[in-house]
Amino acid sequence: MNVNVFIKEQLLEMSQKLLNDHCNHEIIQTKDHTLFPFLYGKYALMITEPEPENDIHIVFDGFEKFNQYPLIAIGNWKANAYGQALYERYQNSYLIKLIDPQIQLRTLNMLRTNCFIYIDSHHQEDTSASLLEAMYMQLPIIAYASDYNKTLTQNNAMFFKHSNELMEVLYSLHPSKAANYGVLMKQTISSQLEKLHLMH
């Protein structure tokens, strides 16, 4: 399917109400700190499908070398051999925190609300709409440089193809720059939704 057609269909399914219902900003509660000690500091977040074609190991490798703050990766790590291999390697890592996708929506939104940066590693169209939701929640985004990701973000995100490129972006990212990218992501998705829903 043509990338533009896929994105248009995905955006049409995403009414403002659906996004509002699904993407709420949540504050950190005491119980969250107990479950997720990394919440005391800066962290990156990734919601992904552990498929070999998504090259998640490139992202993990980049974060290990960067060694500044942890990456919280939500995915079904038991789904296939690739995910299992990543789990085996990183389950005890201080920098890579692997989380099962079966978490409550409130917990997911709390993790999204408070992350410093959102990483999207999908190489193809993302049927889960996680990138679209991250944009709607005003998260600064570093995405794999695929046609889908570039088109959806209208080239307004930060992009990488290799772990070294990812590290360069991470090193360049001071808080005000990250915040500006977040605002840009929200504006980008809001204008796309507005145009499409005005047309229908």
Which residue segments constitute the domains of the chain, with CATH numbers given? 3-199 (3.40.50.2000)
Tell me the pLDDT of the chain averaged across its residues. Answer: 91
Q: Supply the pLDDT for residue 8.
A: 78
The yes-or-no verdict on residue 26 having pLDDT over 70 is: yes
Task: Tell me what the mean pLDDT of segment 5-17 comes to.
Answer: 73
3-state secondary structure of 187: helix
- The pLDDT tens digits for 160-176 are 999 999 999 999 999 99
- The pLDDT tens digits for 103-152 are 999 999 999 999 999 999 998 876 668 999 999 999 999 999 999 999 99
Q: Supply the pLDDT for residue 17.
A: 67
Report the distance separating Cα 87 and Cα 98, nearest Å: 7
The yes-or-no verdict on residue 198 having pLDDT over 80 is: no
- Degrees to nearest 5, angle at CA 121 with 63 and 153: 115
The yes-or-no verdict on residue 13 having pLDDT over 80 is: no
Q: Could you tell me the strand order of the sheet in which 117-120 lies?
A: 96-99, 71-74, 44-47, 117-120, 141-144, 158-160
